[in-house]
Structure 1
């Protein structure tokens, strides 16, 4: 199989890249080359900015592919560019959408590919929906061979998956745990969530590549494991070897008092109970099973981060914000008790 990935080094795509290289796929990555030093030796790099359409067009002028996958498309304009570049050059075009595009609030916590798409809380999700709409029109009107893939919360060895964190990533929450500081969990921590290790996602994704039955289809790829947010944070604390000191805070309150887009990320996503039905994926990719349990995967992630100081990016502003939120709750409680 000959495949081209636009991106290929991110949380989701890096595991797919590794697994395909082990399987002997003729794989090309089109990116700016900022992470190319960590790539397998048999992966081919096309170094360019995908937004430089003329240059990319010249570089791929004489090339065709079995599969082209765009991991970094977030707006319909990105897909319009991809269509101009790859129409007639690939047997399958795969777009990475998002499970956050599913309706909020959900009418049924069990999510299938037939769950309506609508998210009034998060612009990111609405843009993904618009991207899907554009591609479906190209499929219907022009036969563009698309497959839409919807991941949910996928994690790797480089970052701890969390509900609430700052703009510098997740390390500051782990640092608070290690310093025996309280950490914020949105809501009461009992809503269900799904974490998927990127190596499991990769297995499902590769099974859809070159799969004639996946053309024109939308497919979600997640683990079947459901966890409460309390269980997720307990597993993280356990991997760090510390006791969890949790402070539960209303998602609405967090969204109202944060400079970050917690309204989109919480109200439009993580505050909702989600349980994914992966029956469609398993029909298309017989034998698919997500095998990395979260408590096992997060131990690998924590061990890697603790061993690599470069991944320990501090966030003093977020740390101060956490203390302010917790102090405000303590003050409000004290005023009521008095």
Structure 2
């Protein structure tokens, strides 16, 4: 059945492939974003320019969409506005949350949708939890919560610091930081592997007023991830293993992304979403998973590097300090 679908966002890591897949499924697709990203949209996609702070955003309440897919919402205040805007204006409101909402470290080796929602370290994740709670605590707007994990397309999945900066270090033969011993297991999922189950959730009655994560079924160590990125550039990865607590002492801003997420192993049971959408396959080949990320990084890195960054100097300082502790 063809649906009218509004994507708020629509050109990001995950949303653009979902827009393309929705169009291929025969849906009538409109996107709303700030039009600041130079992305080629497929023929047939309608585009509205604006963001959630525009007065015109509230006027969306006067339009009717079968589905609203919200990729650009991060705070409870934004969620309150969306509930007010889209109640009565859509049959299904899809909120793209984050798998970082799950408690870390996990108490079971596989996370399910029943895993406790709590993050003591990262405000980003706590805000997503609060947004989910607002949806569950009301009964006028039918919703579906989707929790992607680390999903890749154009970005490079680096554990610590600026991704392009870390890749430049690899190319220059300099070590890159890995938290701990690099053996924790991390799930990477291609955007093209998320699009199929995501689009199958649209308009599905079994998906209403429920939550689902969509990820790959296999994990890789951070050492393996770095090695695969380096392999894509024809170099070797040199790892500098540093305890997470040390990294956070040097840079407090790393606390959320590390202690709130990437330090811990993160593996997922996707059986719940598969019961609703049917089976789907996500690549388990790390080189294939990272292929597009490497292609996009190579394009970005054609630009000449600027002078040594503050972060690059900080990384060298941390590595030197850690090396000074070795016998």
Band the TM-score falls in, shorter-chain normalisation? over 0.9
Q: Name the TM-score, length of structure 1 as normaliser.
A: 0.91
- 2:174 corresponds to 1:178: no
Equivalent of residue 294 in structure 1, options 286, 290, 294? 286
Structure 2 partner of 1:153: 150
Quote the offset at 1:4 in angstroms: 0.3
Report Cα offsets for 1:105-146 as digits up to 9, x if no partner.
Answer: 32112100000101111111111110010000113xx3x110
Q: Which runs of 5+ in 2 are unaligned?
A: none
Q: Please show how residues 1-338 of structure 1 align to structure 2 within 5 Å.
A: 1-35=3-37, 37-52=39-54, 54-58=55-59, 60=60, 62-139=62-139, 142=140, 144-156=141-153, 158-166=154-162, 170-259=163-252, 261-291=253-283, 293-309=285-301, 316-333=309-326, 337=327
Ranges of 4+ aligned residues in structure 1 off by more than 6 Å: 310-313
CA distance in 2, matches of 1:28, 1:12: 16
CA distance in 1, matches of 2:270, 2:10: 24
**CA distance 1:185–1:76, change in 2 (3 Å):** same
Q: Name the TM-score, length of structure 2 as normaliser.
A: 0.94
CA distance in 1, matches of 2:51, 2:132: 23
CA distance in 2, matches of 1:199, 1:312: 30
Q: CA RMSD in A?
A: 1.8
Quote the offset at 1:81 in angstroms: 0.7
Q: Please tell me whether the aligned partners of residues 93 and 145 of structure 1 are also in contact (alpha carbons under 8 angstroms).
A: yes
CA distance in 1, matches of 2:183, 2:301: 33
CA distance in 2, matches of 1:189, 1:291: 22
SS at match of 1:199: helix
Q: Please tell me whether the aligned partners of residues 187 and 249 of structure 1 are also in contact (alpha carbons under 8 angstroms).
A: yes
